[in-house]
Amino acid sequence: MDDGSSKRQATRFCFRVFKKSSPNGKITVYLGKRDFVDHISHVDPIDGVVLIDPDYVKDRKVFGHVLAAFRYGREDLDVLGLTFRKDLYLAAEQIYPQDNTAQAKRPLTRLQERLIKKLGPNAYPFYFELPPHCPASVTLQPAPGDTGKPCGVDYELKAFVGETQDDKPHKRNSVRLAIRKIMYAPSKQGEQPSIEVSKEFMMSPNRLYLEASLDKELYHHGESIAVNVHIANNSNRTVKKIKVSVRQFADICLFSTAQYKCTVAETESE
């Protein structure tokens, strides 16, 4: 008996699943993860299942969309039909009924097999592949005093009930799940960053030299940035304060190329 129970325990394993239902509870989306990695050569596929209520859907269809959106302005400035947001559909699929030949031939992933076995015959799989050229999820640091959703690139998985995939989804029978497309930082560090600048002053015979260097090139979230500053003041001026700041830069290409910059951290000493 002990051997049998140990064998059963050995075959069991747990997997994490993200679940979200529509407001009316008629369709539910199940996802194994919400972060999808860009491996340069390919991007992790978005796979999961949608559990539907056939008595509610009836002769209609269930569609799935993967949407990438770039917000480049505050939400409170969206007036008169002008929005500071650019949407791009990256993938679309009819989830129910599955009459596509490619869908029928595509093998189920391990997650889909287990979810369909657990949820029953009203669970239908979906599978999206993100294009390799699409950008990674990015959040731009908001400026002091900014309110609302920050600018940046975000991704959304949407499932809804409709006659065609061009129908405008109703909130009551649609599901929206925020997902992320991420890239891992390279494991190999580059050269130690350093820079040297000089400044000359009027009525001063010599210059002031400033050299700054970092302990490494790549930093992860939560890490401290060690900055080494060396000043050679050969001028007749006095250095009263040293200020160091970290700024986020983003090149934004819409109607014309612009650069967004924002200070994310700073310190100073006298």
Q: What is the DSSP string of 33-60?
A: -SEEEB-SS-B--EEEEEEE-HHHHTT-
Question: String of b and e for 174-212 (b: at least 16 CB within 10 Å)?
Answer: bbbbebbbeeeeeeeeeeeeeeeeeeeeeeeeeebebeb
| Predicted model pTM | 0.71
- Identify the bridge partners of residue 64 per DSSP, sorted by sequence position: 93, 159
* Nearest C-alpha neighbor of 48 from the set 131, 155, 124: 124
What's domain 16-182's architecture?
A: Sandwich (2.60)
pLDDT digit string (tens) for 152-179? 889 999 999 999 888 888 999 999 999 9
pLDDT digit string (tens) for 222-262? 889 999 999 999 998 888 999 999 988 877 766 667 777 88
Q: For the chain, what are the domain ranges?
A: 16-182, 194-269
Could you tell me if 47 and 64 are in contact, meaning their C-beta atoms sit under 8 angstroms apart?
A: no
- Identify the bridge partners of residue 174 per DSSP, sorted by sequence position: 160
What's domain 194-269's architecture?
A: Sandwich (2.60)
> What does the alpha-carbon distance between residue 154 and residue 181 come to, in Å, rounded to a whole number?
8
Do 16-182 and 194-269 fold alike per CATH?
yes
Residue 92: count of CB within 10 angstroms of its CB: 14
Please tell me the predicted confidence (pLDDT) of residue 70: 82
